[in-house]
A and B are shown apart, each in its own frame.
Chain A
Amino acid sequence: MPYTSEHDEIPNPLRAGLRAESIPEPCAVVIFGATGDLAHRKLVPALYNLAVTGHLPAAFGIVGMAKSELAQHDFVRGMRESVGKFSRTKPIDAEIWADFANGMRYVSGSFDDPNAFARLRAALEELDKSRGTRGNRLFYFATPPSAFPTLLKQLKGAGLINPPNDSRFTRVVIEKPFGHDLASGRALNRLVLETCDERQVFRIDHYLGKETVQNLLVFRFANSIFEPIWNRRFVDHVQITACEDLGVEGRARYYEEAGILRDMIQNHVLQLLCLTSMEPPVAFDADAVREEKTKVLRAVEAFETPEQVARNVVLGQYTAGSIGGKDVPGYHEEKDVAPDSRTPTFVGLRLSVRSWRWDGVPFYLRSGKRMPKRATEIAVHFQPLPHSLFGEGATQPNELVIRVQPEEGIALRFSAKVPGERYRPRTVSMDFRYGSTFGAVAPEAYERLLLDAMRGDQTLFTRRDEVEAAWKIADSILKVTESPESPPPNPYRAGTWGPPEADQLLAQDGRAWRRL
């Protein structure tokens, strides 16, 4: 039966107020790069968990495609091993796995080879018949970005991209990095949109799939007490930290090209900044939420001169040190890192959001590898008291800390009277911990995002203009720091919180990084 958009205007009488989550339409997920780490560690375990939790349609299939010559049963066996190792639900449920594995297909071939895509098409049509996937396709690009243009061209050539208003959906999920800079990000967007409609494109940032990141929206827009103080009149500054204790862990080739600004700031950290500082959307839907996030990125003041970058940005690169009581090598000693590499592994920076709400409130962002521990958080520091009744320096300004990982939760720090002492205040913490307040195990970020992509919900995916606005900010730093005249990144010992220059960045404003 042909689908015409006029029927969209007839509201679904059964949808309003339902508490049950909707189940995606029957579909096949095609994973390009199916023999890679992402497919084995994240994507297939996430899809299996969706089957376990009853979120997948029973009419479902997976087609893996990669260069490696693999028999189908070897592909399935490899995936079973990976699911056994990386799935959050264990042990594997034999009955669910059997049904899940029955829907798996593998197509080997080069992405340059049109015949391989003819085989892919045949595999999908066979799934339509045997599993009832009904022509709905979700193409997941779990490949290096260099493969994206070829994949898009081949999909189009093989007639595998349906128009956006076809009754059989075609969606494309694209992994970061979405470009290397503003120019390449724009070029990639143009290329993608020559093949697909924006409604069919799902640019994934797995940070947005984390429960605690989504909770930021609920925390801000489902509570009335924080909104009145969430602005320049009450907030002194905001610190956003995304640190890890790991080094480059076998990803040095990618990391040498990317560095911390492309790997973390342009996407994950700026997304956290957006969710912290955006205005309330007019509705909780993909367009409204993404519109407000994009406005924030447009309001962030990009750097125009090398002097501005020097004043507001500190880069670092780790040297050998000790983490958790063990020796770890310096960045230059890592495999596949050039001996004279200037790739930054740490950044501390100060950004300004030029908006009615945030003008004059600095946002300090830091992200680094080989830090003392893994920690991602947003700390909102409120203004100090105008006058202290309990003596100079007796009280600390209030802080609201949203812990994204680990120990996900929210803490509010405020002053309380020390018992027995005569009006001596001390900072105490009111602590909400996700793990203990909600006993249910939260789904992995990829589960949430794959499910949303299958449902066609783009709220947690980035939009074209959003990606480009984020690149504009990152680019204004990169064009200075990657110029030959720029000084090399400041060294810091692995297991410390970055170079001393990062402390100076805040010290010159009379502030300090939070001790984590």
Chain B
Amino acid sequence: MEAVVSENFGEPISAGAAPRTGDSGELVLRFDSGFDLGRIERLLQETRERGGRAPESVCTLNLIAVYFNEQQYEKARAALEMAGTIHPSRLIVMIGDAPVEQESLTVRASVVRSGGAITLERLVLSATGRAVRHLESAMTNLLRPDLPRVVVFGGRPHGDLMKRAVEMADRIVIDSGARPPGYLAETASLLAKGAPIGDLAWARIFPWQALAADTLDLPNLREHRGNIRKARVVCAGAVGAEGLLLLGWLQSRIKRLEIQIQAEGEPEPEDTGTATPRAAPMGLGQVKLLELTAPPATFTLRRDKGILYADVKGDDDGYCANRVRLPADTPGRLLALELNLLYGVDELYAQAAQAAARLLPQVPR
């Protein structure tokens, strides 16, 4: 297993998750050497039957999550649970903490019930030291047959494990926004080979894409559609993958587009203690402004707290053409969005990522 990257770009695949500890419904097994799959299946059955006869288990996909230490998983746990319940799943979490010297193997099993059925079966396989070598083969045997396999990958987008994930998965979900933008080059090269990658950073810019497209659909602004010459993106604190993907998307859609990317200001502080979900704070490297120049008009899309504004300036003084509220950041929202696609390549994303990778040399250091 490879070591995780954490360079101030947030934890991988956190997807708005809040840390959670303890679960009284969890059953645990420890093994000395190698997993016993029969015992794991029996453990899962025991969790299904807790509190009486097991209700029906609904399962539409195998969701496989890969992490490299317990803390990463804990951070992502609520998001995985929510997304895995919205898309009823068998969730297999692999936590491989290779740098720990002592070998250990643990399995935790639990289920989530909703609407009179079991909608999430969860197996958390943890290994430390050399025992991490058993994780993959155990996971393969615990998959539900004939269902799509989606891998949520919490490591770098390269290396042996990622390669094997590409080979076995119908779809792989990463979060480019959790890593320095240079890794987009790796992702782009995998996409060029047809790897079915989904990206939470891509899902994070959906509202920007929708607002840009909607603004050009406004009847009195349609005349500018064919005249967009320049795009400028400003990211919070540092240039991040979201900004590059947004520019990459624009460049793949509009011919001969001059582009510019820069960083300004600071990311917003983590939101804590709000009773109701709000839009996620603007994290490091995330987009705070997109400007499209279509002479004589300039379209400025900007984020102010939880609202995106589309300002238009042309021959006149300018006005706000549209504004939209960013969606509330409930745990697993972005992951659940990505799980709407279970097979194949998102062509728009693939083109945007490849264009974004070509922009990397222009990223200010």
Taken together as a complex, chains A and B put the C-alpha atoms of A252 and B219 apart, in Å, by 45
Which residues of B sit under 8 angstroms from A433, Cβ to Cβ? 58
Partner of A132, one of B206, B314, B320, B326: B320
CA distance A4 to B115 in the complex (A): 52
Given A59-B320, A132-B320, A436-B58, verify A11-B225 contact (CB < 8 Å): yes
Interface centre among A2, A15, A165 (most CB of B within 10 A): A15
A4-61 residues with Cβ-Cβ distance < 8 A to B are 4, 7-8, 10-23, 25-26, 51-54, 56-59
Residue A356 at the B interface, CB < 8 A? Answer: no
Q: Is the CB of B253 within 8 A of A3?
A: no
What interface size band does chain B fall in? 35 or more
A22 pairs with B217, CB closer than 8 A? yes
Q: For chain A, residues 429 to 478, give those with C-beta under 8 angstroms from any C-beta of chain B.
A: 433, 435-440
Query: Which of A20, A57, A438: most chain B Cβ within 10 A?
Result: A20
> Which of these, A11, A18, A93, A166, contacts B276 with CB under 8 Å?
A93
Q: List the interface of chain B (C-beta within 8 A of A).
A: 56, 58, 60, 85-88, 114-117, 119, 206-207, 209-214, 216-223, 225-226, 228, 250, 253-254, 276, 278, 307, 314, 320-328, 336-337, 340-341, 346-348
| Total chain A interface residues with beta-carbon distance under 8 A | 46
The answer on a CB contact under 8 Å between B213 and A14 is yes
Residue of B nearest to A93 (CB): B276
Q: Judge whether B216 and A436 touch: CB under 8 Å.
A: no
- Measured in the bound complex, the distance between the Cα atoms of B254 and A12 in whole Å is 10
B348 and A59 contact, CB distance less than 8 A: no
A17–B320 touching, CB < 8 Å: no
Contact indicator A1/B225 (Cβ below 8 Å): no
Main secondary structure of the interface of A (DSSP, over half): loop
A440 contacts B336, C-beta separation under 8 Å: yes
Q: Within the complex, what minimum Cβ distance (angstroms) separates B41 from chain A?
A: 22
* Alpha-carbon distance between A169 and B217 when the two chains are bound, in angstroms: 13
Set of chain B residues within 8 Å of A3, measured between Cβ atoms: 219-220, 222
A341 near B: Cβ within 8 Å? no
A52→B119 CA distance, assembly (Å): 25
**A56, B325: Cα distance in complex, Å:** 8
B residues in contact with A436, CB < 8 Å: 56, 58, 88, 115-117, 119
Please judge, given known A-B contacts A54-B324, A437-B88, whether A25 and B60 are in contact too, CB under 8 Å: no
Residues on B with beta carbons closer than 8 Å to the beta carbon of A52: 328
Check A58–B307 contact: CB distance below 8 A.
Answer: yes
A305 at interface by CB-CB < 8 Å? no
Q: Which residues of A contact B321 (CB under 8 A)?
A: 26, 134
Hey, which chain B residues are within 8 Å of A16, CB to CB?
253, 348
Q: Does A72 interact with chain B (Cβ within 8 Å)?
A: no
A sample of 28 cross-chain residue pairs with beta-carbon separation below 8 angstroms, ordered by A number, consists of: A1-B220, A1-B221, A10-B225, A13-B225, A13-B254, A14-B209, A17-B348, A19-B340, A19-B346, A19-B348, A20-B207, A20-B209, A21-B210, A22-B210, A23-B211, A51-B325, A52-B328, A53-B327, A54-B324, A54-B327, A59-B323, A134-B321, A166-B219, A167-B220, A433-B58, A436-B58, A436-B88, A438-B86
Interface residues in A131-148 by Cβ distance below 8 A to B read 132, 134
In the complex, how many residue pairs between chain A and chain B have their CB atoms under 8 Å apart? 130
Q: Identify the closest chain B residue to A91 (Cβ).
A: B276
Q: Are A58 and B327 in contact (CB under 8 A)?
A: no
Interface pair A22/B119, CB less than 8 Å apart = no
A307–B28 alpha-carbon span in the complex (Å): 74
Given contacts A93-B276, A167-B219, contact A20 B117 (CB under 8 A): no
Residues from chain A with a CB closer than 8 A to the CB of B213 are 12, 14-15, 18, 22
Name the B residues within 8 Å of A166 (CB-CB). Answer: 219
Nearest CB on B from A438, distance (A): 7
A3 to B223, CA, bound (A): 8
CA A132 to CA B307, docked complex, whole Å: 14
Asked if A95 is at the interface (CB within 8 A of a chain B CB), the reply is yes
**Which residue of the partner chain A has the closest CB to B292?**
A14
Say whether B220 contacts A2, CB under 8 Å. yes
Given A15-B217, A95-B276, A439-B86, A23 and B322 contact (CB-CB distance below 8 Å)? yes
Known contacts A14-B250, A18-B210; can you find 6 more A-B pairs with CB under 8 A? A10-B223, A13-B225, A15-B213, A19-B346, A54-B324, A94-B276
User: Which residues of chain A have C-beta atoms less than 8 A from B324's C-beta?
Assistant: 23, 54, 57-58
Q: Which of B114, B211, B324, B347 has the most C-beta atoms of chain A within 10 angstroms of its own C-beta?
A: B324
Cα separation A12 to B225 with both chains bound (whole Å) = 6
CA distance A12 to B215 in the complex (A): 10
Please judge, given known A-B contacts A13-B228, A93-B276, whether A58 and B325 are in contact too, CB under 8 Å. Answer: yes
Q: Tell me, in angstroms, the Cα distance from A54 to B250 when the chains sit together.
A: 24
